[in-house]
Amino acid sequence: MQTLVVAWLLSFIVVMAIIRSNHWHVHLSSDVIDGVQKFHRGAIPRIGGLGIIAGLGGALGWSAWRGLIGVEMAWLLIAALPAFGAGLAEDVTKRVGVAARLLATMAAAAVGAWGLGAVLPRLGVPGVDALLALWPLLAWAVTLVAVAGVANAVNIIDGFNGLAAATSMLMFMAFGYVAWVLGDSFIVQVCLAMIGALAGFFVWNYPRGLIFLGDGGAYLVGFLLAEVAVLLVVRHPQLSPWFCLLVCAYPITETLFSIYRKRFLRGMSPGVPDGLHLHMLVYRRLVRWAAGHEAARDVTARNSATSPYLWGLASLGIVPAVLFWHDERWLVASALGFVVAYVWVYARLVRFRVPGWLRRRVGDKT
């Protein structure tokens, strides 16, 4: 638990310092309020990832000093730098495209594969697993794409106060629990460090939205989620890859469905932002509808009221993953069930057929 506390304290202090000094760097670090994916007021710093990496690095250093982990800690931090650096550069310059960030994250995954052996040996799919064993280069390629995909997926769901941070904490809790059961102290320490770092950031991000993760924070968190998932599969042959897939089911499903919606339904590039992600529909069709007319003083409340709906949705994948982590049949069934639930919810929101018990008026005390 010391790892968690150290990470929380360092992240809390760094994020507080960023907020307090906002007037010095706001011209570089603030989030530009335009486009279809902005749901806040004011110039908000989007460099909260600095607090995350400070908490992670300090906590893992503390664990290494106590003898709980070894050189693996250094390799993980080195591997994370390209993903974090590319995202942070976008936060500051607003000129680093999605392709460049994905390539940087693939480079980070390559460093992790080289230094930590984080190369997917199997996917839990008959036939595909045989190919991965036969062609090591294919296993490398699949790993690089998977890691970059998860990192980008976390960035995609980072749309409202507390959404990505709390969802990621839940995912790290699931990974950490199973790593603890399997006796993997290194992954346990990484998960504790990330939970603490995210919690230190969360205090300032939710519900008031005083700071955002930004691309640097989102890509860092997503990369580490993916690396932990890969390492669990590599280091523990008894663990099905479907466990990791189910834990990350919400951001992965959101990303794949977004690609399908844009490419095949709307005929546009998947890299072009739109306002039809699930969390945006929840905001417009549930929270914003219930709150009434547009009013600046309600924006932050409506923003923060959106996230709990998605925390609940993410839990539909995380909870069964933890309960059935040792049974691949239940993991596969739960993954398919999550996809069905996601599509059903999305379709209901698009058609605005919302069950009455889901509608919530901001500020309602009942």
300-335, pLDDT tens digit by residue?
A: 778 888 999 999 999 999 999 999 999 999 999 999
What percentage of the chain carries pLDDT values higher than 70? 90
Query: Which residues define the annotated binding site?
Result: 155, 215
pLDDT at 366 over 60: no
Is the per-residue pLDDT at 208 higher than 60?
Answer: yes
Domain parsing of the chain, residue ranges:
2-358
What is the model's pLDDT at position 303? 85
Q: What is the pLDDT of residues 74-92, one digit of tens each?
A: 999 999 999 999 999 999 9
Going by C-beta distance under 8 Å and a sequence separation of 6 or more, which residues neighbour residue 260? Answer: none
pLDDT of residue 365: 46
Query: Tokens 């908000």 correspond to what residue?
Result: 44
Average pLDDT taken over every residue of the chain: 90
Closest to 159 measured CA to CA, from 273, 80, 1: 273
Owner of token pair 């994370």: 80
> pLDDT value at position 292?
54
Give the whole-angstrom CA distance, residue 68 versus residue 264: 49
Gap between the Cα atoms of 188 and 353, Å rounded = 42
Residue 34 has pLDDT above 60, yes or no: no
**Cβ–Cβ under 8 Å, residues 38 and 160:** no
For residue 82, the tally of other CB atoms under 10 A from its CB is 21
CB 182 within 8 A of CB 236: yes
Tokens 């790593």 locate to 179
Band the pLDDT of 2: cuts 50, 70, 90.
very high
* pLDDT > 70? residue 36: no
Angle at 149 between CA 103 and CA 210, to 5 degrees: 90
Indicate the annotated binding residues for Mg(2+). Answer: 155, 215
pLDDT > 90 fraction of the chain, expressed in percent and rounded = 73
